[in-house]
Structure 1
Amino acid sequence: MRSRLRLPDAFAVALAGTRARRLRSALSALGIAIAVAAVVAVLGIAESAKADLVDELGENGNLLTVASGQSINGREVPLPVTAEAMIARIPPVRTVAAVATVAAVPVRRSSAIPKAQTGGTNVLAATTTLPRTVSARMLLGRYLDARADRYPVTVLGYEAARIMGIGSLGASTQVLLGDQYFTVVGVLAPVAIAPEMDVAALISFAQAEQRFGRTGGPSRIYLRADPEQVAAVASVLTATTVPGAEEDVQVRRPSDLLVARIAAKGAFVGLFLGLGGVALLIAGVGIANIMVISVLERRSEIGLRRALGARRSHLAVQFLLESTMLAAAGGLLGLALGVAATAVVARLSGNPLAIPPEGLAAGLAAALLIGALAGAYPAIRAARLSPVEALRAL
């Protein structure tokens, strides 16, 4: 009778072979685990970041900006004083907010700091509807209200507060705008859709005119429109803002920046996946090397099994299963490590945890494929080994 090797017996023999050399097997599986973890982490971290941007895109897709143009000499041309009110009258427009650049006003923590060292912070006059329009939230304190027209108070952007070392607010927390001290009543959280707010000190239009002589219309207007009417509103904004001089107005959709960031994140995923694939191939070469050494070291076992009736295919299956089991163990460990790394990075970045299921399946499938390919040559070599030659090792 010809000998037969049942599948459960084949797994039992292969498992015994891997357990006989535990340290070597663990190191081989670890190489696969690191490569798979890198692939899963790259996919997971990129997907988590993109999920956050997609959520933000959905929230801010109806935000539009109207900015003033520039004159021939490069100076900013302010929008008409009536621009905000005219835009607010467009039926699909839900809310409007205006800001104006207050030029040549340095922002410092105190008079001990030279005027040239402002850290890139500038002064913006803003209306009270700005947070609602750009979906900004307060990190500390409160935003400008009706009292801001009468008193020298300011709200700092996130980066402006960080540059000046303001981490808490009190009655004595002040900053120097030009040569006048303003009390800091609030700090904004980062505004991704309007990053210019992060490096600004916001004051009221009344204070900008009273203390710095800033007159004229706003330099930029933010508005939110009905999501289904965004394109229609954008098409009439220039004519509504500056009738007859549409070339002096720039209408933009800040969410286009989010779309570009989503595309940029996707572009780098391919590069990192390629590096992960190279690491996986290197780990596969390591398994192949270990299996070849295992065949040489176990020649006596191979010869004895052949003498007892084992067929060539039985030996090939045994060594092929051993390499595949090592890769499978490494793949499962890599999936766990990749998910854990993604969860940690997502939590630290404040992004939602999003791991594509196809990424997990692809990582495990790649590990199994690499394991099978790595064990193919050692399995063929073990199957071709002559029983007489193998028994000489006894």
Structure 2
Amino acid sequence: MKDGSSGAAPRAARMSLADVLRVGGAGLRSRPTRVFLSALGIAIGIAAMVGVVGISTSSREDLNRKLDALGTNLLTVTPGQSFSGEEARLPKSAVEMIGHMPRVESVSAVGKTDAKVFRTDRMPTEETGGISVAAARTDLPRTVGAELTAGRWLNAANSRYPAVVLGPEAADHLGIHTAGAGTRVWLGERWFTVVGILAPNELAPDLDATALVGWSAATRYLGFDGYPTTVHTRAEESSVGAVQELLGATANPESPNEVTVSRPSDALAAKEASDDTLSGLLLGLGAVALLVGGVGVANTMVISVLERRSEIGLRRALGATRGQIRSQFLCESQLLSALGGAGGVLLGICVTTGYAAYQGWPSVVPVWAMAGGVGATLVIGGLAGFYPAVRAARLPPTEALSAS
């Protein structure tokens, strides 16, 4: 009786995943310099993409923290223009009328004056450095969320006398870094004592370059007319929209169209949107860098096939199938890309962490960005290694051996 299997070609042994990885890894170890340079191209592209996403996310997280601390319920009322094109004025009673509105938590105001402020009384009158002088109500910090880096805010006692609180930019320009009885500035043709210095304020940036004096003191010493130029209003979080719609008519019932109502947090959100546009551009550049890295992988694999034709022929002669040869070179390209992707993700995390620490932001790198970076490299590796792998598998053993 004949064996039914006689005459049949012996089947090639199947390569396990561990065997494929071992053979692919051996191919990369034989050319360390070329592998490093190709992986570096992939890493640069992935690092650029992860870094852009991480920095953008960290910036957004910092903005969200600031808004959570400052609140998104601050509304600002300023004079608009009259029908004749001139700048309108808010009524003197605007603050009190807004304060009587339902769902308004707090309200305060500042009023610009024509006074000038100088470090000494010997400075030329035209050298103001862009510092404005304004009257301020004592409840302003509570409404706008202002904080002080030195001294204290105006109170019921000193707001009636020559006392001033400087915004951070005004203080820097005047060369003043401390507050107290021994620190004075020349303001409105008389000496004013600097009782405090404000910290930068995201929602009320106009205060940064302003010298603020008490409402009563401004009227008494600076000829302030008592008309507010900016009214800051805090509304209940759930009623911001409703309060915003009624603020104009409440502040100036006779001419509500001459009132401008804005929400400072919207300006911060617009700034974030412009940052997102820049991030999109940088992501595009990162994608180009990733494409260049993929071309480098493809080039490395093609050269590897040409240099290792004798090895391919010998393996085919010993019984390796086309599928096994193809798997070997696809594995090499995937390992090469994964090496670059992992390095790029780590580099992107380091860049994000360093830049966030420099800016004082929380460092946030989304998990999807890291996973997407590695996934993108595997796709690039598969595409870049497909043609070289197919070319290696199609090499006839006799031709490959004769090429050696």
Pick the TM interval, shorter chain. over 0.9
Shift of 1:18: 0.9
Shift of 1:344: 2.1
Partner of 1:19: 29
Structure 1 vs Structure 2: percent identity of aligned residues?
50
What are the equivalent positions in structure 2 for 1:1-394 lying under 5 Å apart?
A: 1-3=10-12, 4-58=14-68, 59-71=70-82, 76-103=87-114, 105-111=115-121, 113-169=123-179, 171-394=181-404
Deviations 1:151-205 (A, max 9, x none): 3222222222233343444543333334433332222222111111111111111
CA distance 1:74–1:349, shift in 2 (3 Å): farther
Distance of 2:346 and 2:231 partners within structure 1: 48
Contact 2:160 2:215 (8 Å CA) reproduced:
no
Deviations 1:288-346 (A, max 9, x none): 11122222222221121111111122111111111111111111111112122212222
Opposite residue 62 of structure 1, the aligned amino acid is N
Shift of 1:14: 0.5
Name whichever of 184-193 and 316-325 sits farther off: 184-193
Shift of 1:30: 1.6
Opposite residue 317 of structure 1, the aligned amino acid is S
Distance of 2:334 and 2:323 partners within structure 1: 16
Shift of 1:259: 2.6
Distance of 1:30 and 1:166 partners within structure 2: 51
The TM-score with structure 2 as length reference comes to: 0.90
Distance of 2:124 and 2:29 partners within structure 1: 70
Post-superposition, which runs of at least 4 consecutive aligned residues in structure 1 deviate over 6 A? none
Distance of 1:305 and 1:99 partners within structure 2: 85
Shift of 1:72: 6.5
Name whichever of 200-209 and 142-151 sits farther off: 142-151
Distance of 1:31 and 1:179 partners within structure 2: 66
CA distance 1:213–1:339, shift in 2 (3 Å): same
Structure 1 unpaired stretches of 5+: none
Contact 2:111 2:226 (8 Å CA) reproduced:
no
Contact 2:138 2:159 (8 Å CA) reproduced:
no
Distance of 2:206 and 2:137 partners within structure 1: 15
Partner of 2:3: none
Contact 2:38 2:293 (8 Å CA) reproduced:
yes
Distance of 1:393 and 1:166 partners within structure 2: 81
Contact 1:79 1:219 (8 Å CA) reproduced:
yes
Contact 1:106 1:116 (8 Å CA) reproduced:
no
Structure 2 unpaired stretches of 5+: 1-9
CA distance 1:160–1:309, shift in 2 (3 Å): same
What's the secondary structure of 1:146's corresponding residue? coil
Contact 2:151 2:180 (8 Å CA) reproduced:
no
Distance of 2:179 and 2:32 partners within structure 1: 60
Opposite residue 350 of structure 1, the aligned amino acid is G
Contact 2:180 2:196 (8 Å CA) reproduced:
no
What's the secondary structure of 1:270's corresponding residue? helix
Shift of 1:283: 0.7
Contact 1:78 1:216 (8 Å CA) reproduced:
no
What's the secondary structure of 1:186's corresponding residue? strand
Deviations 1:56-110 (A, max 9, x none): 445522111121234577664432222212211123111111100112x333333
Opposite residue 303 of structure 1, the aligned amino acid is G
Contact 1:70 1:76 (8 Å CA) reproduced:
yes
Distance of 2:201 and 2:391 partners within structure 1: 63
